[in-house]
Amino acid sequence: MQTPTMTATGHQLPTALEPRNPGMALDLEWVRSAQANTSAIERRAKTLPGRRSVKKDYQAAWLCRAISCIDLTTLSGDDTQGRVQRLCAKARQPVRADILDALGMQGLTTGAICVYHDMIETAVDALAGSGIPVAAVSTGFPAGLSPFHLRVAEISESVKAGAQEIDIVITRRHVLQGNWQALYDEMRAFREACGEAHVKAILATGELGTLRNVARASLVCMMAGADFIKTSTGKEGVNATLPVSLVMIRAIRDYYDRTGYRIGYKPAGGISKAKDSLVYLSLIKDELGDRWLQPDLFRLGASSLLGDIERQLEHHVTGHYSANYRHALA
């Protein structure tokens, strides 16, 4: 990274708005032509952590940008209203006020809050007036194996409850069987059920078998109208990885080159360190350019990442690292 995406003395940029991807007819020739050179992709991915290095003010600026792109997430069976309210308070004030003041970053917030359907109303109330959207996981998350009509109905109910973004899960067997028409039809129905709410298509890449399948599933979901494509639910054995990210990002670039529509990208699961967020930001900058470094086109799905970023920012300001418990999320 040679230049920061946001200066440490600036303010968070307002969310930019792109023309929404309307989708297109399923182009099976394009889908079947998509390939993935696994060895080349893995070699490229291995170089990423060491190719870019930012220090001091530049690093602080990039970490602030990462915060603005976080989908702060709680998806646990023991979620309570109190936990969600505390998480929303953290989204509004992601870093201690004195640190933000020192950085000149007052007003910085996370990109969104992501919860189960049952906690949408609580999150919407807690975020009122903040401009922070609520994202809800849907369609039988995380397995996506509930009856189809119930998955569609779940989307509708979440939109009615106030969710502005819906994270859906695809049926993995459609990809594993190469049934691209079925995947397209499913994704199209989910997109229609979302209405004005933006839809993130979770591919669950750790369960798709090959990088070629990831590339093809990415294209099909975008053709069906996905606003974002997302790596994982966070519940799979393998979640976001750099090789998978490279494949999905290049599919996004290919789709943009052919259609003129920018699709967002969200890696999720296993991203817990500040240095990891810098690698993903540098990958986006290298492959897609600065425009994709805005929260309307890039999100980091994470629950513990923010705490580590806050520690790094405190060290930048004070010269000292604090204990993890001083930056608890909830």
The pair of three-digit structure tokens given for residue 36, joined into one six-digit string:
């993935």
55 among known catalytic residues: no
Other CB atoms within 10 A of residue 118 CB: 13
Residue 46 annotated to the active site: no
CA 231 to chain centre: 8
Write down the catalytic residue from 71, 167, 276, 296: 167
How far is it, in rounded angstroms, from Cα 68 to Cα 295? 6
Q: Is 167 a catalytic residue?
A: yes
Residue 203 CA, chain-centre distance (Å), reads: 12
Tokens 């993130």: give the residue. Answer: 200
End-to-end Cα separation, the chain, in angstroms = 33
Please, are residues 228 and 198 in contact by the beta-carbon 8 Å criterion?
Answer: yes
Catalytic residue, candidates 90, 230, 276, 308:
230
Task: Specify whether the CB–CB gap between 272 and 305 falls below 8 A.
Answer: yes
278/282 Cα distance (integer angstroms): 6
Residue type, 225: G
Exactly one of 71, 90, 200, 266 is catalytic; name it. Answer: 266
Catalytic residue list: 167, 230, 266
